[in-house]
């Protein structure tokens, strides 16, 4: 007597691909009619987050940042927490922690003109605090804001000037 497959498994075998197909088509249909459609293919790397709505790049290379630092032609803002800033920061940088930006903004920027070059940084390639701070500063009227991606780490690794405590805060 031959063994017959269970009728339930036959149904599941046909239903599963059908459900997946229907879900995929529903997703495509909804995306097509969304006001802010998501692209099917895009570059989701960290660097793409450093582009403003008008298409300008926010990121700055370590070499460029060092030149501006040496010539004293930029103000550096540390977007990390106050504790991280006190434990070490780029020499002369000001502390403007992202989570305290509304409380500390006026004090941190009171003597800076809106056309001053500002470089924001935090720590880690995936740290978005510096990017968020840069976008905030641009929104507050500062026109020349840049982001040093993974700033604290690359600055230290290059043995560039650092400080501890609240100098520059």
User: Sheet harboring 144-148: ordered strands across?
Assistant: 94-95, 75-78, 117-121, 144-148
Residues 77/85, Cβ–Cβ less than 8 Å: no
pLDDT band at 146 (very low <50, low <70, confident <90, very high): very high
Residues 122/151, Cβ–Cβ less than 8 Å: yes
pLDDT tens profile 117-129 = 999 999 988 889 9
pLDDT tens profile 3-33 = 666 677 777 788 888 899 999 899 888 888 8
pTM of the model: 0.70
What is the token pair recorded at 36? Answer: 């802010």
CATH topology of domain 46-163: Oxidized Rhodanese; domain 1 (3.40.250)
pLDDT tens profile 99-116 = 999 999 999 999 999 999
Separation CA 79–CA 18 (nearest Å):
49
Indicate the average pLDDT of the chain: 87
SS (H, E, C) 81-129: CHHHHHHCEECCCEECCHHHHHHHHHHHHCCCCCCCEEEEECCCCCCCH
Whether the predicted pLDDT of 60 surpasses 60: yes
Separation CA 93–CA 53 (nearest Å):
27
Spans of all domains in the chain = 46-163
Residues 117/75, Cβ–Cβ less than 8 Å: yes
3 state DSSP class of 68 = helix
Q: How far is CA 130 from CA 5, 33, 46, 106, 135, in A?
A: 60, 34, 12, 18, 9
- What is the pLDDT averaged over residues 139-166? 93
pLDDT tens profile 26-48 = 988 888 888 777 777 655 555 54
């Amino acid at each position: 007597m031959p063994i017959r497959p269970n009728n339930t498994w036959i149904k599941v075998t046909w239903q599963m691909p059908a459900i997946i197909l229907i879900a995929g088509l529903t997703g495509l249909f909804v995306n097509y009619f969304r006001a802010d459609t998501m692209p099917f293919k895009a570059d989701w790397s960290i660097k793409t987050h450093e582009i403003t709505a008008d298409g300008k790049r926010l990121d700055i290379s370590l070499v460029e940042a060092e030149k501006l630092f040496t010539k004293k032609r930029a103000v550096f803002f540390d977007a990390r927490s106050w504790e991280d800033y006190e434990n070490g920061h780029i020499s002369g940088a000001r502390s403007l922690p992202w989570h305290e930006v509304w409380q500390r903004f006026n004090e941190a920027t009171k003597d800076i003109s809106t056309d001053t070059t500002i470089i924001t940084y935090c720590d880690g390639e995936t740290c978005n605090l510096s990017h968020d701070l840069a976008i905030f500063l641009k929104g507050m009227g500062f026109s020349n804001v840049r982001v040093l991606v993974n700033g604290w780490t690359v600055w230290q690794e290059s043995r560039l000037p650092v400080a501890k405590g609240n100098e520059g805060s």
